[in-house]
Amino acid sequence: MSAAALAAGPAGVLLDVPLAGLATIDLAELTERASLLTRIDRKYVLPRSGLDAVLADLDPAVRVLDIDGVRSSEYESVYFDTPQLTSFLMAAHPRRRRFKIRTRTYVDSAQSYLEVKTRGGRGVTVKDRLPYAIGDRATLTTEGRRYTDTVLDEADITGAEGQDLVPTLTTRYRRTTLFLPESSSRATIDTGLSWASVRRADAPQRRLDRPRLAIVETKSGSRASAVDRLLWAHGHRPASISKYATGMAALHGDLPANKWAPVLRRYFR
Write down the pLDDT at residue 37: 52
**Higher-pLDDT residue of 184, 148:** 148
Per residue, the 3-state secondary structure of 206-243, as one string, reads CEEEECCEEEEEEEECCCCCHHHHHHHHCCCCCCCCCH
Question: In the predicted model, is pLDDT for residue 234 greater than 80?
Answer: yes
According to DSSP, residue 205 is labeled -
Write down the pLDDT at residue 138: 96
Question: In the predicted model, is pLDDT for residue 144 greater than 60?
Answer: yes
CA distances in angstroms from 229 to 138, 164, 243, listed in the order given: 38, 42, 23
Write down the pLDDT at residue 124: 73
Question: In the predicted model, is pLDDT for residue 12 greater than 50?
Answer: no
Sign of CA dihedral 81, 84, 86, 90: positive
Write down the pLDDT at residue 119: 84
Residue 7: give its domain's CATH number. Answer: 2.40.320.10
The domain tally of the chain equals 1
**Higher-pLDDT residue of 116, 184:** 116
Contact 7, 107 (CB under 8 A): yes
Write down the pLDDT at residue 32: 86
CA–CA gap between residue 115 and residue 154 (Å, rounded): 15
Q: Please, what's the b/e burial string for 84-112 (b: 16 or more CB within 10 A of its CB; e: otherwise)?
A: ebbbbbbbbeebeebbbbbbbbbbbeeeb
Least trusted range by pLDDT, from 7-16, 73-82, 86-95 = 7-16
Q: Tell me whether residue 243 is exposed, middle or buried, using C-beta atoms within 10 angstroms of its C-beta: 0 to 12, 13 to 18, 19 or more.
A: buried
Q: What percent of the chain clears pLDDT 90, i.e. is strictly above it?
A: 67
Tens of pLDDT, residues 14-69: 576 678 889 999 989 998 887 655 567 899 999 988 998 999 999 999 999 998 88
Q: Please, what's the b/e burial string for 59-82 (b: 16 or more CB within 10 A of its CB; e: otherwise)?
A: eeebbbbbbeeebbbbbbbbbbbb
Write down the pLDDT at residue 16: 62
Write down the pLDDT at residue 126: 85
**Confidence tier at 223 by pLDDT (50, 70, 90):** confident
Mean of the per-residue pLDDT values for the chain? 88
Give the mean model confidence (pLDDT) for residues 220-240: 90
Backbone φ/ψ region at 145: left (φ over 0), alpha (ψ -120 to 50), beta: alpha
Write down the pLDDT at residue 5: 43
Question: In the predicted model, is pLDDT for residue 79 greater than 80?
Answer: yes
Least trusted range by pLDDT, from 6-15, 165-174, 217-226 = 6-15
Question: In the predicted model, is pLDDT for residue 97 greater than 90?
Answer: no
Write out the residue range of the structural domain in which residue 206 sits. 3-268
Give the mean model confidence (pLDDT) for residues 147-168: 93
CA distances in angstroms from 189 to 104, 123, 196, 207, listed in the order given: 16, 22, 20, 21
